[in-house]
């Protein structure tokens, strides 16, 4: 009875005014709808006095708004007289997503400060009103991205050409020329099936070593990829495989090329020694850069998440031999020992300087000197 009396008092205080609902369209038109005529297209039940906090209002930005008002008369933006003591704008898009459908309006609320009220979800539609199920479609052939095809083409080309462009592979792989080329060369060789290397750890190891290269103008990860590819060509087309290098030696040479300039500072050994750089002091002025490459790079190999030899068929002795060969190869990249190694090679194989120059000319090398390791 008290509830009915409150409703009657509220009706008397309205002075016979009728609650009006305005629907504002995207073009600015305004339509007045009297509650109970079921003309409000937006779903849900809206009560006078309900409001949205600032965060919800910002989240519910949409294409169309619904204004609910009652009480004193006011004016809208077009000058139309409307009841306008409290107006709530709710995004129609938000209403359709968050409020259940309803065909009636509640003009008054008995509570002086009503809170938002949402109806429970409507019952599911009868099966007969639903659309028939779509027929099953044959599986679609999704073409692979062009970048993948380009990377594979560049990698396959790298195994049998001297005209390798490391910069092109760098661009195609998004800056990962070294890790992609190294993983490709290692996994296509017989050492994978022979040694049963951990491929997941190998991929992580290669990517970590690659990320340790500084963005130097020369001694960068792109340079390491270029060295790795040309070393592969020398081993393959120079007759060193399989007569001089076995599978373990091939893995050692690959890993040496991959990390041979790891963490290079972009300065020469002579500069580091002359400036008493910490690396020069640590390694007593003896090949400080090469020692640094090996010490930092081989530490990655031993990390559990990067140790691709863990659980493989490589014995402890083979792992020690692999480490020794990597150290020997990387230390030989110090140019101070380069000419001595070349002299030993020529003496062992009876190669004269004239013969070596002829070989370089036929191979297109021209006989010029390089820039170092």
Digit-coded pLDDT (tens) for 5-63 = 555 555 544 444 444 444 444 444 444 444 554 444 444 444 444 444 444 444 434 43
Q: Which of 23-32, 256-265, 313-322 has the lowest mean pLDDT?
A: 23-32
Q: Which of 85-94, 176-185, 212-221, 237-246 has the lowest mean pLDDT?
A: 85-94
CA 99 to chain centre: 37
Give yes or no: 293 in active site: no
Count of positions (residues) in the chain = 373
Which residues form the domain of 177?
A: 146-360
What token pair was written down for 316?
């402890």
- Candidate list 47, 83, 176, 219, residue with the active-site label: 219
What does the pLDDT read at residue 146? Answer: 58
Calculate mean pLDDT across residues 339-366: 81
Q: Which of 228, 224, 181 has its CA nearest to residue 203?
A: 181
The answer to whether residue 209 sits within a structural domain is yes
Q: Which H helix or E strand runs over 88?
A: strand 88-91
CATH code of 293's domain: 1.10.1300.10
What does the pLDDT read at residue 359? Answer: 78
What does the pLDDT read at residue 100? Answer: 42
The answer to whether residue 105 sits within a structural domain is no
Binding-site annotation, residues for Zn(2+): 223, 260-261
Q: Are 328 and 318 in contact (CB under 8 A)?
A: no
Calculate mean pLDDT across residues 190-215: 95
What does the pLDDT read at residue 67? Answer: 42
Q: Which of 84, 55, 80 has its CA nearest to residue 68?
A: 84
The answer to whether residue 130 sits within a structural domain is no
The answer to whether residue 345 sits within a structural domain is yes
The answer to whether residue 132 sits within a structural domain is no
CA–CA separation, 310 and 297 (whole Å): 17
Note the pLDDT tens digit of each residue in 144-179: 665 888 999 999 999 999 999 999 999 999 999 999
Model confidence at 369: pLDDT above 60: no
Q: Which of 32-36, 45-49, 118-122, 287-291 has the lowest mean pLDDT?
A: 45-49
Model confidence at 267: pLDDT above 50: yes
What token pair was written down for 42?
């937006």
Calculate mean pLDDT across residues 290-312: 95
Q: Which residue has the higher pLDDT, 105 or 277?
A: 277
Q: Are 150 and 172 in contact (CB under 8 A)?
A: yes
DSSP lists the bridge partners of residue 20 as 69
Model confidence at 371: pLDDT above 50: no
CA–CA separation, 224 and 178 (whole Å): 7
Positive or negative torsion for Cα 15, 18, 23, 27: negative
The answer to whether residue 308 sits within a structural domain is yes
CA 193 to chain centre: 31
pLDDT band at 348 (very low <50, low <70, confident <90, very high): confident
297 Cβ neighbours under 8 A, 6+ residues apart: 209, 212, 259, 262, 263
Calculate mean pLDDT across residues 174-203: 95
**Coil, strand or helix: which one is 67?**
strand
Which residue is it, tokens 């006011």? 74
**Coil, strand or helix: which one is 32?**
strand
Calculate mean pLDDT across residues 237-266: 94
Note the pLDDT tens digit of each residue in 62-112: 434 444 444 444 455 555 554 444 444 444 444 444 444 444 444 444 444
What token pair was written down for 43?
């779903």
Q: Which of 210, 206, 186, 221 has its CA nearest to residue 307?
A: 206
Calculate mean pLDDT across residues 236-253: 91
Classify 44 in phi/psi space as left (phi over 0), alpha (psi -120 to 50) or beta.
left
The answer to whether residue 48 sits within a structural domain is no
The domain tally of the chain equals: 1
The answer to whether residue 289 sits within a structural domain is yes
Mean pLDDT of the chain: 75
pLDDT above 90 coverage of the chain, percent: 47
The number of C-alpha atoms within 13 Å of 212 and in the hemisphere containing its C-beta is 22
């Amino acid at each position: 009875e008290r509830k009915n009396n409150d409703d009657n008092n509220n009706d008397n205080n309205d002075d016979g005014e009728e609650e009006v609902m305005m629907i504002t369209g995207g073009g600015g038109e305004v339509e007045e709808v009297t509650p109970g005529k079921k003309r409000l297209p937006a779903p849900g039940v809206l009560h006078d006095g309900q409001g949205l906090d600032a965060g919800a209002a910002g989240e519910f930005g949409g294409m169309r708004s619904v204004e609910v008002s009652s009480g004193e008369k006011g004016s809208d933006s077009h000058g139309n007289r409307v009841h306008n003591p409290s107006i709530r704008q709710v995004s129609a898009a938000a209403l359709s997503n968050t409020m259940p459908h309803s065909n009636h309006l509640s003009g008054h609320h008995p509570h002086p400060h009503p809170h938002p009220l949402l109806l429970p979800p409507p019952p599911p539609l009868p099966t007969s009103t639903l659309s028939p199920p779509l027929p099953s479609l044959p599986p679609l052939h999704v073409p692979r991205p062009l970048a993948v095809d380009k990377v594979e083409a560049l990698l396959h080309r790298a195994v049998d050409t001297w005209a390798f462009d490391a910069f092109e592979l760098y661009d195609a792989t998004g800056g990962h020329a070294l890790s992609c080329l190294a993983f490709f060369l290692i996994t296509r060789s017989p050492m994978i099936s022979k040694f049963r290397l951990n491929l997941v750890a190998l991929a992580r190891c290669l990517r970590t070593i690659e990320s340790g290269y500084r963005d130097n103008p020369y001694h960068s990860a792109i340079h390491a990829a270029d060295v790795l590819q040309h070393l592969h060509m020398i081993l393959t087309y120079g007759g060193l495989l399989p007569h001089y290098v076995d599978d373990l030696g091939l893995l050692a040479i690959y890993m040496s090329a991959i990390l041979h300039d790891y963490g290079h500072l972009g300065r020469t050994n002579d500069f580091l020694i002359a400036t008493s750089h910490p690396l020069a002091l640590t390694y007593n002025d003896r090949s400080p850069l090469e020692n640094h490459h090996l010490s930092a790079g081989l530490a990655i190999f031993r990390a559990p998440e990067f140790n691709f030899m863990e659980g493989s068929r490589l014995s402890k002795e083979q792992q020690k031999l692999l480490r020794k060969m990597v150290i020997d190869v990387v230390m030989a990249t110090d140019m101070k020992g380069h000419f001595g190694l070349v002299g030993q090679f020529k003496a062992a194989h009876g190669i004269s300087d004239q013969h070596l120059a002829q070989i370089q000319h036929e191979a297109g090398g021209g006989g010029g000197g390089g820039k170092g390791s």
